[in-house]
């Protein structure tokens, strides 16, 4: 009798396992259809559960956050995956974003544009982020652009912005009181957050998003 119970239990477990792995496959197909680079994300060590967090706002994204000039011969921007690396300013903390550097190490030179349509949720100075702007996309992604040298125009909280609109310029503001500059090499810090359960600002790694957006770089004359 005991044997049969054991056999039955094994069957149940096998079934649950098969169904959940099937579910996993189906949902990965949904991610692929939405344009999410599943293989790259897998290679970067991301689980399907993590990948799914990008799904709601994936199609809101239109442009790489830095624009190039038409005459630019080679890609001037570089970034690497530094997600959760140690940072020291403002106490020990983890790097919650991705930093993009321009070839010319200049502040106020490269235009930062909005990745998505959206609404300005936060704008102005932060001791850590310097001149920053945070934009909530229509499907709930929160895109945080920090260390700007200045803004493209005056932005007000609650105001609408368009994908590709000039937000400001890549800079080196931050790490101090309002107006502090030059404490580090100029770069754009990109943060990416989503609503997850009760958490309005659940941090996601922007790196795979930026790799994907690299093929969607906007050309503008400036
Ligand atoms: Zn950063």
Average per-residue pLDDT for the chain: 91
Least confident of 8-12, 103-107, 157-161: 8-12
How far apart are the CA of 110 and the centre of ligand 1, in A?
17
> Separation of 1 CA from ligand 1 center, angstroms?
62
Q: What is the pLDDT of residue 31?
A: 93
Q: What are phi and psi of 188, to 5 degrees?
A: -100, 125
Average pLDDT over residues 69-98: 89
Strand partners, 143: 135, 192
Give yes or no for residue 18 having a pLDDT over 80: no
What pLDDT score does 221 carry? 80
Strand (E) positions, the chain?
Answer: 77-78, 86-87, 93-94, 98-102, 111-113, 118-126, 130-136, 142-148, 150-151, 160-161, 166-169, 188-196, 199-204
Q: Measured between alpha carbons, how far is 125 from 170 in angstroms, rounded to an integer?
A: 15
Least trusted range by pLDDT, from 23-37, 74-88, 190-204: 23-37
The closest alpha carbon to 71, from 191, 194, 222, belongs to: 222
CA–CA dist 153, 155 (Å, integer) = 6
Q: How close is the Cα of 189 to the center of ligand 1, in Å? A: 4
Going from the Cα of 6 to the center of ligand 1, the distance in angstroms, rounded, reads 54
Q: Give the Å distance between the CA of 214 and the centre of ligand 1.
A: 18
Tell me the CA–centroid distance for residue 24 and ligand 1, in Å: 33
Pick 182 or 6 by higher pLDDT: 182
Q: What is the pLDDT of residues 126-178, one digit of tens each?
A: 999 999 999 999 999 999 999 999 999 999 999 999 999 999 999 999 999 99
């Amino acid at each position: 009798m005991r044997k049969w119970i054991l056999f039955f239990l094994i069957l149940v477990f096998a079934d649950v396992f098969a169904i959940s792995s099937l579910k996993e496959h189906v949902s990965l197909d949904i991610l692929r259809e939405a344009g999410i680079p599943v293989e790259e994300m897998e290679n970067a060590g991301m689980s399907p559960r993590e990948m799914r967090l990008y799904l709601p706002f994936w199609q809101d994204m239109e442009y790489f956050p830095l624009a190039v000039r038409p005459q630019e011969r080679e890609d001037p921007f570089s970034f690497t995956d530094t997600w959760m690396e140690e940072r020291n300013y403002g106490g020990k903390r983890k790097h919650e974003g991705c930093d993009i550097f321009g070839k010319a190490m200049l502040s106020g030179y490269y235009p930062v544009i909005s990745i998505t349509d959206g609404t300005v949720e936060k704008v102005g100075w932060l001791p850590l982020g310097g001149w920053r702007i945070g934009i909530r996309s229509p499907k709930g992604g929160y895109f945080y652009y920090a260390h700007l040298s200045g803004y493209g125009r005056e932005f007000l909280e609650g105001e609408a912005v368009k994908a590709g609109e000039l937000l400001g310029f890549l800079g080196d503001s931050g790490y101090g009181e309002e107006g502090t500059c030059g404490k580090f090499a100029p770069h754009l810090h990109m943060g990416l957050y989503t609503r997850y359960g009760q958490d309005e600002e659940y941090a996601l790694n922007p790196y795979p998003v930026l790799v994907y957006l690299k093929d969607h770089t906007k050309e503008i004359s400036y």
